[in-house]
């Protein structure tokens, strides 16, 4: 979710009017329609309601939040409602796919806009179960992306990867735009750097900051190596998507192809 609500006040007065029947009266173009057993509730501009001779009891201003939030995410609605309620401002929310639309009392529109401009949205914690994530096999290594940049607001990415016995995971390379952290969960992972090699076991952690040489392999015959890789900022997951797509299209994973794909993501092959 965005960190800025970007509220915009729509320059029209709106009303909530009710009509009998199941169809919108001809000539009306309401912003929203709620169908109930008692009839229709129309949300429309005041001038259109007046022209149609409709009665209403609530005069509202419409504020559109330009931020995009998942329809299943209650964090945005809860934050907005709480902030406005604390100032004694009622709020009726109509959630669209791309934006939320708030209807507040006409005479409190300016107050509501100021509150929204100073209120960052609250986000929800994310739980990813053991089986969940985006699974991308690439070059003999199984990658399971538990969190991508799209899920963390561009803060970091988290993947779990498995390297089979006696298998190269990645030849030495340099990332120029992101840092990586490797945490071994199972087996042994041999990390190659410009300072030599280190064998990492369960519980061991390695940090490969941007600009550093690193590569890794499973040099053991005993079993697979399973590890977490945290990388920040995210985005490198797209490299593995590109590798997988190339293989699916019938390409051979040559050193030249990998170098070409890595270069898209500020990564240098050595």
Q: Exposure pattern of 239-251 as b/e (b: 16+ CB <10 Å)?
A: bbbbbbebeeeee
Q: What DSSP designation does 30 have?
A: -
Q: Find where tokens 């190659």 sit.
A: 192
CB–CB of 239/180 below 8 Å? no
d(CA 51, CA 191): 74
**178 CB contacts (<8 Å, ≥6 apart)?**
210, 231, 232, 233, 234, 235, 236, 266
Number of other CB atoms surrounding residue 238 within 10 Å: 14
**pTM score, whole prediction:** 0.59
The pLDDT score that the predictor gives to residue 161 is 97
Give 3-state DSSP helix, strand, coil % of the chain, rounded to 5: 20, 40, 40
Give residue-wise pLDDT tens across range 17-53.
Answer: 999 888 899 999 999 999 988 889 999 999 999 999 9
pLDDT of 4 higher than 50: yes
Distance CA 65, CA 77 (A): 11
Is the pLDDT assigned to residue 10 strictly greater than 90? yes
CA atoms within 13 A on the CB side of 190: 15
User: Model confidence over 217-253: pLDDT tens digits?
Assistant: 999 999 999 999 999 999 999 999 999 999 999 998 8
How far apart are alpha carbons 41 and 37 in whole angstroms? 11
Q: Are 8 and 2 in contact (CB under 8 A)?
A: no
Q: What is the pLDDT of residues 107-135, one digit of tens each?
A: 999 999 999 988 765 566 889 999 899 99
What are residue 199's DSSP bridge partners?
A: 190
> What is the reported pLDDT for 97?
81
**Domains located in the chain, CATH noted:** 7-117 (3.30.2130.10), 134-269 (2.60.120.10)
Given a cut of 60, whether residue 74 has pLDDT beyond it is: no
pLDDT tens-digit series, residues 154-197: 889 999 999 999 999 999 999 999 999 999 999 999 999 999 99
């Amino acid at each position: 979710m965005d960190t800025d609500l970007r509220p915009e006040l729509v320059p029209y007065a709106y009303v909530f009017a009710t009509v009998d029947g199941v169809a919108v009266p001809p000539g009306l173009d309401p912003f929203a329609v709620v169908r109930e057993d008692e009839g229709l509730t129309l949300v429309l501009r005041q001038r259109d309601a007046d022209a149609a001779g409709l009665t209403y009891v609530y005069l509202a201003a419409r504020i559109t939040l330009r931020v995009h939030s998942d329809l299943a995410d209650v964090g945005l609605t809860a934050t907005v409602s709480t902030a406005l309620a604390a100032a004694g401002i009622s709020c009726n929310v109509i959630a669209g796919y791309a934006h939320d639309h708030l209807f507040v009392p006409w005479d409190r529109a300016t107050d509501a806009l100021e509150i929204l401009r100073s209120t960052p949205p609250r986000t929800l914690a994310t739980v990813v179960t053991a089986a969940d994530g985006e699974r991308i096999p690439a070059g003999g290594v199984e990658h399971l992306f538990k969190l991508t940049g799209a899920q963390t607001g561009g803060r970091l990415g988290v993947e779990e990867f498995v390297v089979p016995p006696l298998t190269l995971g990645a030849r030495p390379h340099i990332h120029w735009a992101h840092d990586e952290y490797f945490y071994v969960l199972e087996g042994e992972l041999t990390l190659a750097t410009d300072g030599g090699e280190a064998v990492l076991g369960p519980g061991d952690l390695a940090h490969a900051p941007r600009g550093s040489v690193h590569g890794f392999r499973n040099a053991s015959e005993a079993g697979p190596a399973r590890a977490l890789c945290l990388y920040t900022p995210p985005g490198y997951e797209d490299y593995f998507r590109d590798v997988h797509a190339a293989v699916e299209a019938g390409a051979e994973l040559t050193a030249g192809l990998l170098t070409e794909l890595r270069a898209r993501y500020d990564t240098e092959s050595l």
